[in-house]
Structure 1
Amino acid sequence: MRKIKKVLIAAAMVAAPLLTSHAVAAEYPNRPVKFVVPWPPGDLEDVLTRLIAEEMSRETGKPASVLNKPGGGGVLGASSVARARADGLTIGSFVADLVTTQLVSGNAPYDQDTFEPVGIFLDYPFVIATKADAPYSNLQELAEYSKSNKVSLGHFGYQALPTAITFKAAEAAGIHFSSDAPFDSNDCSTLANGDADVINTTTQQILACIKSGEVKLLTSLTNERLSIAPQIPTLQEETGIAQTTWNGLFVKKGTPQAVKDKIASIAQKALKSKKVQQLVENTGAAVFWIPESSAKNMISNDYKEAESLLKFMQK
């Protein structure tokens, strides 16, 4: 009899965490969910995060909204997630910089252990672009032109990963920027108003101008050539620099695994929608899902790459 009791007690102890996990997942979310996008509305991470939030509302019956909180190269928004509870009710939609270069540079009031990735879902179609009538159409021509002419660069901030990649590419290609300036948004107006001659941005921000023919692309900071501009070489083809940038969902460390799994399941369903497929076709973005464990390895590797890039920037 005692042996039977011991077996039952042992079985109960094994089952308890599983029952608790299922209960947590079933109850989540018990209040409205807030997705924090640390950038102005309109770019790819914002559009995709809104689609994920809409799917969460449909799936759970609880309100889910997106809060745009730009400033400090994304650090302001990320910091608000760092101050939130580890309950999955505040979810950060973070670009790679916020858990790599911003940490390495000491600009972030949080550390490597503050957040846990739910998953990575976007490879940004970052590009280097200029006005259509610019007297250069590729990096080699830009390098030659910059030897005797002033060329200004617009970017997303000195700790932004695409900025560091762009400066490294400029050195490799022999491009001299006479001046540069950070902007929260690098769109058609940045070029049209003369704020910059060349900009580092995403196709989403200049899509209208690409389609109208007012803006041309010099190269893309992507793994493969953009589907919307297959004639434009990648930065890797031009300079050998293969690093790209991504966006993912993050929660405060300590958030229950069952909650993270539920967020991941909802996000993956949202990313398979027709709206997302249309966005991919229109912008050339790469949308996928890299789960938590693989995302952690990816972030660890990118952190080491960020250390190398920032050493280059500080030369």
Structure 2
Amino acid sequence: MRRFALSRVLVLVLSVITFLGAASAVQAGKYPNRPVKFIVPWPPGDLEDVLTRAIAKEMSEQTGVPATVVNKPGGGGVLGATTVAQSRPDGSVIGSFVVDLLTTAVMSGNSPYNVDDFEPVGIFLDYPFVIAAKADAPYSNLQELAEYSKSHDVVLGHFGYQALPTALTFKAADQMSIKFASDAAFDELNCATLANGDADIINTTTQQILPCLESKDVKLLVSITRDRLVIASDVPTLKEVTGIEQTLWNGLFVKKGTDQAIKDKIAAVAHKALQSDDVRTLQQNTGAGVYWADADAAAKTIAADYSNAEKLLSYMNR
């Protein structure tokens, strides 16, 4: 009798599991069945924002379900990432994250989430990060900046100590003997930051300073990219000058436990959106590295960058 009761319990448990699995499959098959929010943890206007909006637009057009971008800056991007970490694993909230939010922000203890709270959908952007200065600055490259900083105060503007570009900039400055009198973190680093004298040099993306690059009010000292920028092929990369190879990327992430069919749907939408003429034009005009690396490739990249970030964080905490 006892064995029979246990068998009935086992059958009941298996039935529940089967039902839940079927319900999950139905939910995934209907995805999206509610409005979708793409969380960009930065103010509007930069590359990840523009490209994420292209992806959201494609999702709305393909599915007929509203998909919008919500800009949620604060805490060096941690506020927006936390929103995704606390969401339901149903694909209704999708994060558009820069690498730092999954590496240095976690390692430094600045985030209430862990890297394994998320699952990657794919990586789509290599940022055209640069170090820029006003056009009339008495230096045009890192070597000249190093010499100038020996006898003049130089103020650096960056996106926060947990940001990878910041760590790379300080590491390069150390190698080149560049001295900063002070530095400050900003949510935005644009033309006004330099024009107002808030910083002498800034670590930012070309998208943030395109107007003053086009007007030639700002010049680039170096790019933190895999290859030289299409829009500034005469400017060397940080790797060329210092040997430092790391760059910045951005990708799409969902809450851990999200159904694979949902992730596949998001990936298909993103891949198609990134092939549009508007995106190609953006790439040509800004030097952005736009591509699609699937979830498996993204996971490998994250693992490698996590290891590299540990070394950089150790360097920053010396």
Task: Give the alignment partner of residue 226 of structure 1, picking from 224, 229, 232.
Answer: 229
- SS of equivalent residue, structure 2 residue 233: coil
Q: Does the 8 A contact of 1:21 with 1:258 survive in 2?
A: no
Q: Deviations over 1:122-179 (max 9, x none)?
A: 0000000000000000000000000011100000001011100110011111110111
Is 1:187 the counterpart of 2:187? The answer is no
One-letter code aligned to 1:119: G
Q: Are 2:307 and 1:304 equivalent residues in the alignment?
A: yes
Which segment drifts farther, 170-179 or 123-132?
A: 170-179
TM superposition score normalised by structure 2: 0.92
Q: Deviations over 1:12-43 (max 9, x none)?
A: xxxx9998776444300000000000000000
How far apart, CA to CA, are the structure 2 residues paired with 1:245 and 1:304? 15
**What code does the residue aligned with 1:258 have?**
A
Structure 2 residue 298 is the aligned partner of structure 1 residue 292: no
1:134-283 matched pairs, under 5 angstroms: 134-283=137-286
Cα deviation for residue 275 of structure 1 reads 0.6
Residue 75 of structure 2 corresponds to residue 72 of structure 1: yes
**Alignment partner of 1:294: what SS?**
helix
Instruction: Tell me which residue corresponds to 1:133.
Output: 136
The answer as to 2:98 corresponding to 1:61 is no
Deviations 1:44-94 (A, max 9, x none): 000000000000000100000000000000000000111100000000000
Residue pairs, 1:37-48, within 5 angstroms: 37-48=40-51
Aligned to 1:5: none
Matches of 2:237 and 2:125 in 1, distance apart? Answer: 17
Instruction: Determine the C-alpha separation between the residues in 1 that align with 2:34 and 2:28.
Output: 13
**Superimposed CA distance per residue, residues 260-285 of structure 1 (whole angstroms, 9 cap, x where no aligned partner):** 00000000000000010010011000
CA–CA separation in structure 2 for the residues paired with 1:160 and 1:196: 17
Structure 2 counterpart of 1:237, one-letter code: E
Contact 1:24 1:258 in 2 (8 A): no
Question: Take 1:18 and 1:311, find their aligned partners in 2: how far apart are those partners?
Answer: 44
Q: Deviation of residue 113 (structure 1)?
A: 1.3
Cα RMSD over matched residues?
1.5
Note the alpha carbon deviations across 1:186-206, whole angstroms, 9 max, x for none: 000000000000000000000
Identify the match of residue 82 of structure 1 among 66, 82, 85: 85
Q: Could you say which residue in structure 2 is the equivalent of 1:30?
A: 33
Q: Is the 8 A contact 1:210 1:216 kept in 2?
A: yes
Partner of 2:32, secondary structure, is coil
CA–CA distance in structure 2, aligned partners of residues 20 and 305 of structure 1: 41
Deviation per residue, 1:219-257 (Å, 9 max, x gap): 000000000000000000000000001000000000000
Distance in 1 separating the partners of 2:169 and 2:119: 28
Give SS of 1:228's match.
Answer: helix
Q: Quick one: distance in 1 between partners of 2:22 and 2:273?
A: 27
Cα deviations by residue, 1:80-131 (Å, 9 ceiling, x for unpaired)? 1111000000000000000000011011101121000000000000000000
Which 5+ residue runs of structure 1 have no aligned equivalent?
1-15
